[in-house]
Amino acid sequence: MENFNQLEQMDSAKSRIEAYQNQKMGFVKPDGQAETTDEKDNIIITFEKEEFVGAHQTSVTTANLLAKNIANKMSKVFSDLAGAIIVPGIHGQPELVFYFRDVPAREGIPKALVQIKDKLRNNNNSNYSESAQALQSMTSIYKTNKVYDLNDDAKKALSRFMLKDANRNINWGQRITEQGSNGYNGGGEILVKVSGLNLIEFIKAIYGYKYKTTVNGSEVVNYYDYTINLISPVNAAYNIYNNRTNTPLVDYAITISAIDRTELQKVAQIFGQPTAIGAVAMCIPEM
């Protein structure tokens, strides 16, 4: 017992010596806080935390992932949608393309395609003979070199998502083309290609483009504007609208940016406002 007390006293003395040496060297104060050798209190700078509000948010994805997402959603609108792709368009901007194929309609989901001969037959006056209607249908197919068209309901539904000319019109004749599934006019089943789709409108429909907030006790509506940019090719994938083919489809990394109009206006208002004291430019704090 005596030996144990001696060991305990030795450990206690050793600890006191080490603590005194550390304190003299500026390592720790007796309460464990860091301190300089002159034993003055340190200046600690702290701020009240503020909410970080950005003018825009950016998401990085790939063209195929975005096209697949859109195709999954649109397949619940049109049962004959074969797929979608996003490719470089004019000036390198991403362009969305839909492909349709003539398949039976699924229950409760309408088709977008109609055969031109059937469309003409339905639009023709019943006074026309059957042979005259058939001749007119064949003449129209020969002139347009097309078998299919989008039906009126499909055109009406898609018109919101189509790029328009200066007069706000859509040239459906240029937007709807046909090609064989084994290549352009290469045979196989006919795929109906719809181009001129406005990818931004689909982004707005998926992610939303307005939100409500409160300013000075009043509820206001703010809006997002979106931009989409192709970055670079990332890898080749197989054709997403027909798994039976081995047509390579190059994938691209893309960025989707949501720009808050209100926050962007705030940024625009403060640009170019630093104040100068003499020849030195600086921002003056509010006293």
Annotated domain spans of the chain: 56-112+151-270
Q: What is the mean pLDDT of residues 160-174?
A: 93
Mean pLDDT of the chain: 76
Cα 133-134-140 angle, rounded to 5 deg: 90
Query: Which residues touch 225 (CB under 8 Å, ≥6 apart)?
Result: 209, 258, 259, 261
Phi-psi category of residue 155: left, alpha or beta, with phi > 0 → left and psi -120 to 50 → alpha: alpha
pLDDT (tens digit per residue) in 102-125 = 999 999 999 999 998 776 656 555
For residue 189, pLDDT over 50 is answered with yes
Residue 145 confidence (pLDDT)? 67
For residue 249, pLDDT over 80 is answered with no
More confident residue, 263 or 253: 253
More confident residue, 21 or 65: 65
Dist. CA 63–CA 81, nearest whole Å: 18
Q: What is the mean pLDDT of residues 252-261?
A: 90
Q: Which of 27, 69, 19, 94 is nearest to 257 (CA)?
A: 94
pLDDT (tens digit per residue) in 129-151 = 555 455 444 444 444 568 899 99
Give, to the nearest 10 degrees, the angle between helix 63-74 and helix 199-207. 70
Q: Which of 189, 199, 220 is nearest to 94 (CA)?
A: 199
Query: Predicted confidence band at 241 (pLDDT cuts at 50, 70, 90)?
Result: very low
Q: Comparing 23-32, 187-196, 214-223, which segment has the lowest mean pLDDT?
A: 23-32
User: In angstroms, what CA-CA distances link 95 with 90, 91, 129, 250?
Assistant: 8, 10, 44, 14
The number of angstroms, rounded, from the C-alpha of 73 to the middle of its chain's C-alpha atoms is 14
For residue 236, pLDDT over 90 is answered with no
Query: Predicted confidence band at 32 (pLDDT cuts at 50, 70, 90)?
Result: very low
For residue 40, pLDDT over 90 is answered with no
Residue 34 confidence (pLDDT)? 47
More confident residue, 275 or 193: 193
Q: What is the mean pLDDT of residues 168-197?
A: 82
Query: Predicted confidence band at 221 (pLDDT cuts at 50, 70, 90)?
Result: confident
Q: What is the mean pLDDT of residues 182-207?
A: 83
Tell me how many helices (H) and strands (E) the chain has. Answer: 8, 12
pLDDT (tens digit per residue) in 65-76 = 999 999 999 999
